[in-house]
Amino acid sequence: MSKQSKIKNKIQEQYGKIALADGSLSCCSSSAGCCSTSETVVSPIESSKTVGYSQNNLNSVPQSSILGLGCGNPSPFALLKEGDIVVDLGSGAGIDVFISANIVKDKGRVIGVDITDAMLERARKNAEIHGYQNVEFRKGDIEEKIPVDDNSVDVVISNCVINLTENKLKTFKEIHRILKPNGVGKLVISDVVTSGEVEKEIIDEGNWCGCIDGALTKDNYLDSIKKAGFTYIEILEERPGNVVKDDNESIDKHTRKISSITVKAFKN
Ligand SMILES: C[S@@+](CC[C@H](N)C(=O)[O-])C[C@H]1O[C@@H](n2cnc3c(N)ncnc32)[C@H](O)[C@@H]1O
């Protein structure tokens, strides 16, 4: 099996476990292996507040959609309007889908896309129990093909997911494909960046799932967005994170600073 397939399997295994764990696997628990820029083990609610969710945000969504897996809070930066068509990539249990759905209301629509079956099930159950009519969750691998039509989306949001894809440029090109043209469509994405990327040969699958080994430097991240065809690229927020100590001799200086950014860009 190729390294890429192994990573994809591991992602689905790890995030599947989190989806089934009913909140008992917090983001930073060692067995969870999920994304966080904080070193401290906290509850999903506390973890979400740390990365920018307000208590109002958290009260407004199904509580079972809050898993503490994000590294920012992209929706408020997206300045969503009633009627907007929104896509959330790597939607997990749906937290950002539900926050967005409350704003775009019945005239709009929010589509969550995720690769992990158990996450999709949890998100769909959340939508059903809480009577959301304007949301939908689709299965897809966002770096292969986002299951959404060309030129059809007002805003693409995503929270701590693109770093988990191997080919970031391909992922950003897919995002570009589905957004409406002529300066209408935009992306607003929170994600993890690093002070030092890891060579392919020494990638650790667990660290990749934990949003460490797949992270790009900020410059390379912004460059991938630009190469995919986006314009007016702007960093809206930056949060310093923790420092990862590496045992592997090949990793320069044996430490990497992990931080998170929220970035906006437009499709012309
Ligand atoms: C760190 S979690 C973030 C979940 C959600 N955005 C949140 O903030 O709660 C990453 C999510 O991305 C999904 N994911 C990872 N790689 C993916 C891919 N290539 N395509 C679609 N979803 C992916 C995982 O299944 C998981 O649900």
Which protein residue has the closest C-alpha to ligand 1 atom 5?
Answer: 92
Q: Out of 100, 157, 161, give the residue to mutate to test ligand 1, the one with the largest number of ligand atoms within 8 Å of its CB.
A: 161
Q: Out of 114, 122, 166, give the residue to mutate to test ligand 1, the one with the largest number of ligand atoms within 8 Å of its CB.
A: 114
Residue 154, beta-bridge partner list: none
51 exposure class (CB count in 10 Å sphere: 0-12, 13-18, 19+): buried
pLDDT tens per residue, range 117-149: 999 999 999 999 999 999 999 999 999 999 999
Q: Could you give the CA distance from residue 182 to residue 244 in angstroms, rounded to a whole number?
A: 41
- At the top level of CATH, the class of 3-266 is alpha beta
pLDDT tens per residue, range 3-30: 788 899 999 999 999 999 976 554 433 3
pLDDT of residue 30: 36
Q: Which two tokens stand for residue 259?
A: 């931080």
Q: Please tell me the pTM assigned to this model.
A: 0.94
Report how far ligand 1's centroid is from the alpha carbon of 209 (Å).
10
